[in-house]
């Protein structure tokens, strides 16, 4: 019993250390890489590669015939990791591919200690199988203990650790816990173990097809997890709170399936697998037309959890005997690495849209217990025929209603379900439906350009008679074709409230100097004069290219031909302007509804104040569907001893102005009185203590009901 508790707690602690440091280092990377959700995907890839290497390392040690060799080698690795303490991750930014730089930093700074921790799951299970403890012949139950530690780490991070501790304190506690883990390993090393000479005889009999199944069943749920994470974080916020939920569900599925007595019926999951695929597809079709954002997130997460349980249940069903345990975990880790490479490295470069999530759902159909079949039947062909017909319908009469309510897509899904007698039927039908749902060719509006990179998906579309720049479902600006005097368009889109501010500042400055963080279409350039010196910043080279594509947007060319556009993170570029004395700073660098939190921290606001003139003004676009950001600005204004004004603008559809919410920080009393008395801005008097720092930020109190 004592041995069982010792091994269980050691695995629990190792998993907790491994998974709590993932959101810690990802949070450290955000200020450097502009708050992009892709940071998490690359971090996940690193940890998946680390797991594969560590499992391979454990596999080699488990093949050592002498009973002391694995203890000596692993003990030396532990001592080497201890010599590298204290651990404190520092992100760097160089002129290379972001993915390469992140992976390099993680490997150099975290590689050795995390290798020791990650090897624990297979190595300690192997060691337990060589003891005289109860259930030593079947140590897979220890994997559940390991995943409970992982799950606790992930759930406690956004709700407890991130909420009450800064990053520096988090790393300090992590270092102490690692030393506790090293002591536990030392105790385990002193236990008596049996010989391992019988292992090589059984390993040679592993079937290659069985290995491929282990890899495939490791790949699909991991790819689905990364895909659903990208979907959620792109539309809400790039923050650990939203990263860890899908990963926590992924780990919970391991806990439930690898327990000694599985808590979920695998037969039930097999028989209802098609339902778990159809439900998210139905949500893709109707989306915000029928469901709120919270409901959509719940639907996708619930379906993902069911599919993860299904695949991990299959892994349990085909797991090998204990002699092949490390082989099993190596194949499982390889599947995770392949998923990380596909979602984190390949997808942003080979796809122009976020297609890896639906591809994961297609692959999940391979696990449905249906007949294999050789050719598609009538129903999937009918589904594709309905979709093709829908594209040919004229935009008039009741055909408009059919398209607006997605009748053809729903009917196609019904045909797919009706013909789901074989896997071929489901694959063909779903593939056709996904092409129509996600391809830019079949959007309700013409998509003229679509690109994707590390920073997300961007589209230029022709909507309602205008060229529009979109990120996910968020409109970032537009331009009416054929406009002669585009200089008059500066107040359109979300920038109506800024016109009164720029007008007042221009009245007191013969020549203004301003910086705008976030380029969009470049429409804000039209609020400035030819004599004004304007710097605009964007971290995404694709956005810069689209804004300069005069086939669609001519604001930068026609309004301010001499404008300077910088590529880089807003804080990094602003910090490099050592001699700057800006009259106006505009922070509008949010992609979709996701927010780069590092632009709203105390350190960021102190930098803004340092770069502003004595009567300068800071404007922040806080429009967001999911987060109420004004309290953060309120706390920052009190920190800087600035006045805070707030403008909630309903917009003007006829004038091309959209609803928006802005916050203004300044010490310029004349400007503040003018805006309050004549322009409808509100002086914020409420008290707020929600001050974010680079070391601490918490989204939970800001969530809208």
pLDDT tens readout for residues 225-257 = 999 988 877 755 555 567 778 988 998 898 888
525/667 same-domain check: yes
Residue range 355-361: average pLDDT?
92
With respect to residue 129, please indicate whether it lies within any of the assigned structural domains: yes
Instruction: List 474's β-bridge partners, or say none.
Output: 471
User: How much is the pLDDT for 201?
Assistant: 44
Residue range 149-171: average pLDDT?
87
Neighbours of 660 (CB within 10 A): 20
State both tokens at 87.
């651990």
| Range of lowest pLDDT (52-56, 302-306, 369-373, 453-457) | 369-373
With respect to residue 80, please indicate whether it lies within any of the assigned structural domains: yes
688/580 same-domain check: yes
- Kindly tell me if the per-residue pLDDT of 148 is higher than 60: yes
State both tokens at 146.
């390991």
With respect to residue 201, please indicate whether it lies within any of the assigned structural domains: no
Interhelix angle for 69-83 vs 38-62, to 10°? 150
Dihedral-angle region of residue 477 (phi above 0 means left; psi in -120 to 50 means alpha; beta otherwise): left
- Kindly tell me if the per-residue pLDDT of 16 is higher than 80: yes
Residue with the larger pLDDT of the pair 117 and 260: 117
User: How much is the pLDDT for 515?
Assistant: 96
- Kindly tell me if the per-residue pLDDT of 674 is higher than 70: yes
pLDDT in tens, 442-461: 676 788 999 988 888 899 99
Out of 333, 367, 401, a domain closes at 367
326/425 same-domain check: no
User: Rounded CA gap, 640 and 390, in Å?
Assistant: 57
3-class SS of residue 617: strand
360/404 same-domain check: no
User: Rounded CA gap, 564 and 547, in Å?
Assistant: 13
Instruction: List 618's β-bridge partners, or say none.
Output: 585, 665
244/284 same-domain check: yes
User: Rounded CA gap, 27 and 5, in Å?
Assistant: 33
Residue with the larger pLDDT of the pair 55 and 671: 671
Around 236, how many Cα atoms within 13 Å sit in the side-chain half-sphere? 23
With respect to residue 624, please indicate whether it lies within any of the assigned structural domains: yes
The residue with tokens 């916020």 is: 237
State both tokens at 224.
């689905």
User: How much is the pLDDT for 587?
Assistant: 95
User: Rounded CA gap, 492 and 520, in Å?
Assistant: 13
- From residue 524, give the alpha-carbon distance in Å to each of 68, 299, 472, 497: 69, 38, 21, 12
CATH number at residue 331: 1.20.1250.20
Looking at the 3D structure of the chain, how many domains does it have?
A: 3
Q: Are strands 660-666 and 612-621 parallel, antiparallel or unpaired?
A: antiparallel
With respect to residue 452, please indicate whether it lies within any of the assigned structural domains: no
Residue 508 contacts residue 490 (beta carbons within 8 Å): no
pLDDT band at 562; cut points 50, 70, 90: confident
25/157 same-domain check: yes
Residue with the larger pLDDT of the pair 518 and 204: 518
Q: Are strands 533-538 and 564-567 parallel, antiparallel or unpaired?
A: parallel
Residue range 306-328: average pLDDT?
87
For residue 94, the Cα-to-chain-centroid distance in whole angstroms is 22
Share of the chain above pLDDT 90, in %: 38
User: Rounded CA gap, 433 and 360, in Å?
Assistant: 14
State both tokens at 131.
């003891």
3-class SS of residue 557: helix
30/128 same-domain check: yes
User: Rounded CA gap, 300 and 231, in Å?
Assistant: 9
Question: What residue numbers bound the domain in which 47 lies?
Answer: 2-193+207-367
Q: What mean pLDDT, rounded, does the chain reach?
A: 85
Residue range 166-193: average pLDDT?
91
673/578 same-domain check: yes
User: Rounded CA gap, 538 and 521, in Å?
Assistant: 11
For CA atoms 346, 349, 350, 356, the dihedral sign is positive
The reply to whether omega before 24 is within 30° of 0 (cis) is: no
With respect to residue 472, please indicate whether it lies within any of the assigned structural domains: no
| Range of lowest pLDDT (55-59, 554-558, 682-686) | 55-59
Out of 367, 387, 415, a domain closes at 367
User: Rounded CA gap, 400 and 406, in Å?
Assistant: 10
Q: Of 281, 269, 341, nearest to 305 (Cα)? A: 269
Residue range 675-685: average pLDDT?
94
436/571 same-domain check: no
With respect to residue 399, please indicate whether it lies within any of the assigned structural domains: yes
pLDDT in tens, 365-413: 887 776 666 666 788 899 999 988 988 888 777 877 887 788 889 999 9
Out of 335, 367, 399, a domain closes at 367
State both tokens at 472.
């996910």
Residues 6+ apart with CB under 8 A from 262: 256, 313, 316
98/164 same-domain check: yes
Interhelix angle for 273-286 vs 407-418, to 10°? 170
Q: For residue 667, with 0-12 CB atoms within 10 Å meaning exposed, 13-18 middle and 19 or more buried, which class applies?
A: middle
* Consecutive H or E run containing 677: helix 669-678
User: How much is the pLDDT for 236?
Assistant: 55
Q: Which pTM was predicted?
A: 0.81
With respect to residue 228, please indicate whether it lies within any of the assigned structural domains: yes
96/240 same-domain check: yes
435/492 same-domain check: no
């Amino acid at each position: 019993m004592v041995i069982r508790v010792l091994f269980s707690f050691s695995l629990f602690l190792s998993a907790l250390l491994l998974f709590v440091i993932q959101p810690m280092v990802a949070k450290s990377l955000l200020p450097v890489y502009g708050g992009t959700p892709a940071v998490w995907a690359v971090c996940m890839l690193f940890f998946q590669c680390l797991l594969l290497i560590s499992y391979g390392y454990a596999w080699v040690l488990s093949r050592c015939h002498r009973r002391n060799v694995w203890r000596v080698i692993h003990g030396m690795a532990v001592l080497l990791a201890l010599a590298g303490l204290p651990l404190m991750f520092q992100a760097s930014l160089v002129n290379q591919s972001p993915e390469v730089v992140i992976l390099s930093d993680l490997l150099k700074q975290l590689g050795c200690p995390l290798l020791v921790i990650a090897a624990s799951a297979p190595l300690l299970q192997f060691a337990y199988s060589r003891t005289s403890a109860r259930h030593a012949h079947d140590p897979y139950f220890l994997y559940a203990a390991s995943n409970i530690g992982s799950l606790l780490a992930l759930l406690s991070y956004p709700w407890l650790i991130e909420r009450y501790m800064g990053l520096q304190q988090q790393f300090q506690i992590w270092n102490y816990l690692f030393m506790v883990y090293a002591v536990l390993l030392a105790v385990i090393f002193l236990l008596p173990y049996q010989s391992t000479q019988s292992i090589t005889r059984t390993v040679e009999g592993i079937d290659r097809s069985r290995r491929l199944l282990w890899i495939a069943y490791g790949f699909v749920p991991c790819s689905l997890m990364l895909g659903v994470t990208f979907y959620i974080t792109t539309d809400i916020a790039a923050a650990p709170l939203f990263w860890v939920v899908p990963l926590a569900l992924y780990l919970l599925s391991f806990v439930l399936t690898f327990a000694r007595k599985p808590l979920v019926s695998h037969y039930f999951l097999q028989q209802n697998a098609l339902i778990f695929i159809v439900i998210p597809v139905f949500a893709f079709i109707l989306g915000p037309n029928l469901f709120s954002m919270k409901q959509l997130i719940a639907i996708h997460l619930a379906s993902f959890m069911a599919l993860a349980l299904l695949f991990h249940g299959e892994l349990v069903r085909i797991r090998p005997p204990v002699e092949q345990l490390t082989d099993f975990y190596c194949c499982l880790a390889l599947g995770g690495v392949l998923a990380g490479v596909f979602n984190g490295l390949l997808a942003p470069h080979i796809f122009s849209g976020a297609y890896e999530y639906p591809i994961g759902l297609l692959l999940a159909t391979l696990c449905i217990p249906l007949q294999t079949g050789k050719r598609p039947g009538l129903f999937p062909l009918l589904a594709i025929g309905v979709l093709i017909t829908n594209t040919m319908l004229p935009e008039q009469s009741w055909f408009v209603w059919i398209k607006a309510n997605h009748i053809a897509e729903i009917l196609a899904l019904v045909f797919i379900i009706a013909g789901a007698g074989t896997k071929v039927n489901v694959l063909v039908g779903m593939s056709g439906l996904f092409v129509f749902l996600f391809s830019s060719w079949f959007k309700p509006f013409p998509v003229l350009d679509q690109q994707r990179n590390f920073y997300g998906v961007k589209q230029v579309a022709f909507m309602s008679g205008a060229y529009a720049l979109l990120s996910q479902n968020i409109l970032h600006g537009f331009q009416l074709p054929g406009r002669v005097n585009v200089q008059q368009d500066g107040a359109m889109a979300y920038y109506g409230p800024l016109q009164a501010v720029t007008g007042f500042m221009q009245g007191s400055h013969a020549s203004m100097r301003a910086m705008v963080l976030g380029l969009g279409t470049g429409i804000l350039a039209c609020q400035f004069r030819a004599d004004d010196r304007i710097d605009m910043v964007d971290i995404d080279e694709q956005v810069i290219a689209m804004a300069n594509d005069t086939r669609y947007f001519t604001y930068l060319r026609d309004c301010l031909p001499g404008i300077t556009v910088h590529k880089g993170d807003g804080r990094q570029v602003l910090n490099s302007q050592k001699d700057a004395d800006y009259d106006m700073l505009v922070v509008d660098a949010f992609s979709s509804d996701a927010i780069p939190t590092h632009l709203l921290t105390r350190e960021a606001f102190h930098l803004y104040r340092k770069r502003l003139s004595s009567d300068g003004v800071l404007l922040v676009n806080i429009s967001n569907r999911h987060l109420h950001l004004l309290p953060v600005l309120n706390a920052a204004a009190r920190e800087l001893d600035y006045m805070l004004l707030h403008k909630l603008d309903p917009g003007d559809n006829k004038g091309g102005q959209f609803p928006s919410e802005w916050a203004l920080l300044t010490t310029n009393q004349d400007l503040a009185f003018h805006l309050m008395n004549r322009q409808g801005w509100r002086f914020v008097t409420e008290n707020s203590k929600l001050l974010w720092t680079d070391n601490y930020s918490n989204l939970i109190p800001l969530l809208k009901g």
